[in-house]
Amino acid sequence: MPNTLFLRLESPLQSWGEDSQWSERRTAPEPTKSGVVGLLACALGWNDDARIRDLARRVRVGVRCDVRGTSAPLKDYHTVGGGYTSPQLLNAKGELKISSGKPHTEPTSRYYLCDTSFLVAVQADADTIAQLAHAVQFPVWQLYLGRKSCVPTVPPFDGVDDYPNLAEALQKHPARFIANERVVDQRPRIVIECESRQAGAVRHRDQIASRTYRLFEPRYSHESRLPNEVRVEILDEGA
């Protein structure tokens, strides 16, 4: 039975926050595990900490960066507060923050990946994969790629299969596109969840512990290049 779910995450804009808060909202260079689990939770219609935390601990995630997109993230200017948004900005005493006699306006910068396309492999037991595959094809809530303004341009579901590990799944699954206009990396970068003791393991903090309180546990991944050239398939748009 299939143990791997494949997702094609593609959009003009994507943003995967990992290490930023407050006024500087940067994006990771590829989908984070917390972002992928959040997408799956939306598909399932879950918003409670217990089920989302359990899901995050049951699945392992690998990412293949098929299309790089622009060379640098897009920086977008925002303002928060100023009497126009809710909730208002508060000071340390929990009172409305005032600047020059008016509700405080905070400038913020938000960053987005542009024109990127990723293949995400999610591995778990067969029952979990069957449940996730159905949910992604018939989502309860709108799916988005990191931020709610980043709507997928293609349906994320890209099939299920059975593989012994994430590395082999990312090596053998093709890059499927509706049109052939994209510049696909022949040997794309891959980022695979791993154990902390593995050589080259990098520590992240994107394992969801509490959605309510925005708490995250540590997780490790290993980065490399695909050992073989990625196989590209152009789908029939009318099929």
| Residue 16 and residue 28 in contact, taking contact as beta carbons nearer than 8 Å | yes
Structural domains of the chain in order of their starting residue, each with its CATH number: 4-18+29-69+114-234 (3.30.70.2660)
The per-residue pLDDT for 55 is 98
- pLDDT < 70 regions, the chain: 82-88, 180, 237-239
> What pLDDT, in 10s, does the model give residues 54-79?
999 999 999 999 999 998 999 999 88
Looking at residue 6, what is its pLDDT?
98
Q: Is the pTM of this model over 0.85?
A: yes
Check if the beta carbon of residue 66 is closer than 8 Å to that of residue 188. yes
Burial 51-89 (b: 16+ CB within 10 A, else e): ebbebbeebbbbbbbbbbbeeebbeeeeebbeeeeeeeb
What's the CA gap between 179 and 176, in Å, rounded?
A: 9
pLDDT at position 18, please? 85
Helix 126-137 to helix 33-44 angle (10° resolution) is 70
pLDDT at residue 187, rounded to an integer: 96
Q: What is the reported pLDDT for 168? A: 98
